[in-house]
Amino acid sequence: MAIGRDVYSCHPPKIEMMVRSIIGDFKSGTRDKVSVWMEKEGIPVLVEYIAVRDDNGQYIGTMECVLDRGAFIYFDFCC
């Protein structure tokens, strides 16, 4: 959990520029959600970055959701 922590300290340095770009787009209002597929320990995961806005639509933060898609792939193949 990273509430209150600098977001860049939660990510490897090699993706810092991507994270900065996404947050920049959220702050400017260009985008509200970004989905990125990656592999973690051989399992496909979907990482979704979602802009959090106040009642006036002003950017107040970013929510990051990491979804393990391995179970979905397993059930798609086996059933």
Predicted confidence band at 2 (pLDDT cuts at 50, 70, 90)? low
Contact 50, 66 (CB under 8 A): no
Residue 2 belongs to a domain: no
Measured distance CA(42)–CA(22) in Å, rounded: 25
Q: Is residue 59 part of a domain?
A: yes
Encode pLDDT of 30-77 as tens digits: 999 999 988 888 888 888 999 999 999 999 999 988 888 766 666 665
pLDDT at 72: 66
Does any domain span residue 1?
no
> pTM to 2 decimals?
0.75
**What is the count of structural domains for the chain?**
1
Q: What is the pLDDT of residue 3?
A: 65
- Which pLDDT value is given to residue 69? 75
CATH of the domain at 13: 3.30.450.20
| Owning domain of residue 29 | 7-78
